[in-house]
Structure 1
Amino acid sequence: MEFTLSKKEHTEIPDQIFPINIFYIHYTGPHIVPLHWHEHLEWIIIAKGSFRVQVGSTFEDLQEGDLTFINKKQIHSAFPKSSDSELYAIVFNEALIRNTGLDNTENKYISPLLTNDVSIRTYFKADEPESDIIRECLMKLKNAYSEGPFGYELLVKASLLESIAYIFHKAEQTPLLNRNQDRGSIEPVLVHLSNHFHEPLSVKQAASMCCISPNYFCSLFKKATGKTLIEYMNMLRIQEAERLLRTHNYTVQQVAFAVGYTNLTYFGRVFKKLKNVSPSNYLKNN
């Protein structure tokens, strides 16, 4: 029996010639955005409640009205902090914002954005002036996309470009040689765990990936994620276990082994701690 645990996500885009989709994430549905990455760009709007959002090696607790911009190939996730939390994820391909015409917007803005030659903010808090304008653009986009009137594609594209224009207001040009040179970054470990969370990983091995000492790694990791390495790995494993159990294709034991637990009792204890229900009861009731 084969399990697919890779976190490169194949995002559902219904219309390949107008590549955009909007996902509504809420507690009674698929209420977790698992750690993953894809070839598309993305806006996240916190519609209600609060989420802990990860983009790359950064983590932020976001509340209603806050926004997140995610570039292509950036690992990211969102975990609700309360049961009434809701968000919209607007996922779109670069084809929607590329310009092959004669004006200078492609070379001046879009290409530097996609190649990370410009430093773009990731998080926009609700009380910032830019956030109100961007959120208005995105909600106008969402409504046009949902209602689909004649010409909605133009409204969607215009709103999308307008939202991106505003993030350039506080963007900074980033010299190529200075980019991503923070030796204290834990991102190598986060990238590794996005595909290998089911494999054993010691603090010493994780620290080695980041070229720092184990003690410093533990301090950085806890500060960034709010969790120890073991707690973070358990979160990823149980999240994947939950997804596998919901398919009803595997037994509890098969799921436990697939996500990295060799001890079924320990798996059950961790699952119940994080989900407030045993794996067997979860399988029975979902």
Structure 2
Amino acid sequence: MVYNELTERGNENFPVGFYHLDESHPKYIMQHHWHKELEIIRVIKGKLTVYLNNVEIEMTKNDIVFVNPEIVHGAIPDKCVYECMVFDPEKILVCTDDGKNIASGLVNHTLFIYHRIKSDNIALYTTVCKLFNSFSVSDPGYQLSAISSLYELFAVICREKLFTDNTSYSNFLKDKNLIKLKKAIEYMRENYKSQISLDELSKAVDVSPKYFCVIFKGMTGMTAFEYLNAYRIEKASKALISTDMGITEIAFSSGFNDLSYFIKTFKKYKNTTPKLFRNSH
């Protein structure tokens, strides 16, 4: 499974994915990935360190970040509750020429929405909050409210020129180090069940082990093996919730070859044991 993430969002009639994440969520730590859709992240409480390609952003309560299509992104929460909304602009902005032009620019990488929106931008902040709140409540008609808010959101973005249409964004997506990072992430996600060495990873992206470590840490804020272990724990968390497999079996099927190390690593990322995590769900 490669991370170019290919998850379907919502359904055909309402193609929007909404995710509320706290410590109990298997994907609480957002592993680095990318996708063709636009994503909006909002922090409810605590601190969230977000990585967007090689940019690190510290988010706190009420902060909002836009993740443009194809950007490699991940996030490390600290006593945090946060929400994400993911959607394909070309499936949403279909009713007006303005909307179609924005959607085309986003998916073709000729238009780039500025990443960070502070709460002092009242118009945008209010619209984003209204959009997220429509999902939080899920009252009858919430889908209509959400679509209305999405159109209002892009009207504000256009009106206040919260985007750039230069070519630097498109060129950055062709950056050699970014391409190598994506290859490394794909390799780890395809082979996480096996034992992976630094030599394997560096050969997979055709660089020296030393340079590979510099690229990966510089663009993600973590080492490759920290990333790999966190991804394995994410997979183990899903299995604990959705299967009746034994904990030892889950550990080995997630790429760990030592049960005690699996439990230690699980506690590091989840602040609880695998058994207690399963029982809490």
Other structure's SS at 2:40 match:
strand
User: Is 1:139–2:162 an aligned residue pair?
Assistant: no
Residue 49 of structure 1 corresponds to 46
Paired residues of 2:113 and 2:162 also in contact (CA < 8 A):
no
- Give CA deviations for 1:57-107 in whole Å, capped at 9, x if unaligned: 65433222222223445554433212xx222222223311135x5x46534
Tell me if structure 1 keeps the 8 A contact 2:112–2:169: no
**Residues 49 and 81 in structure 1, CA contact (< 8 A), matched pair in contact too:** yes
Quote the offset at 1:166 in angstroms: 6.4
Report if aligned partners of 1:75, 1:191 keep a CA contact under 8 Å in 2: no
Deviation string, structure 1 residues 101-155 (Cα, Å, up to 9, x no partner): 5x46534x3212111123443x30537x6x5442222112234554455963663
Aligned residues: 273
User: Quick check: 156-165 or 246-255, which moved more?
Assistant: 156-165
In structure 2, runs of 5+ residues without a counterpart are none
Contact 2:187 2:201 in 1 (8 A): no
User: Taking every aligned residue pair, what percent have the same amino acid on both sides?
Assistant: 23
What CA RMSD, in Å, does the superposition of the two structures yield over aligned residues?
3.4
* Structure 1 gaps, min length 5: none
Counterpart-to-counterpart distance in 2, 1:194 and 1:58: 23
Within 2, Cα distance between the matches of 1:37 and 1:226? 16
Provide the rounded CA distance (Å) in 1 between the counterparts of 2:239 and 2:176.
36
- 1:165 corresponds to: 158
Using the TM superposition, give the Cα deviation of residue 37 of structure 1 relative to its aligned residue in structure 2, in angstroms.
5.0
Q: Structure 1 residues 124, 279: closer, same or farther in 2, change over 3 A? A: same
Matches within 5 A, 1:1-286: 8=5, 10-11=7-8, 13=10, 16-28=12-24, 32=28, 34-35=30-31, 37=34, 40-56=37-53, 58-72=55-69, 74=71, 76-82=73-79, 85-94=80-89, 95-99=91-95, 103=97, 106-107=100-101, 109-121=102-114, 123-124=115-116, 126=118, 131-144=121-134, 146=137, 147-148=139-140, 152=145, 155-162=148-155, 164-165=157-158, 168-174=161-167, 178-185=171-178, 186-286=181-281
Query: What's the TM-score once normalised by structure 2's chain length?
Result: 0.78
**Larger deviation, residues 275-284 vs 221-230:** 275-284
Q: CA deviation at 1:232?
A: 1.7
Structure 1 residue runs of 4+, over 6 Å off? none
Relative contact order, CA 8 A, sep 6+: which one is greater?
2
TM-score by length of 1: 0.77
Letter in 1 for 2:65: T
Q: Please, which moves more after superposition, 248-257 or 214-223?
A: 214-223
Q: Is the 8 A contact 2:53 2:219 kept in 1?
A: no
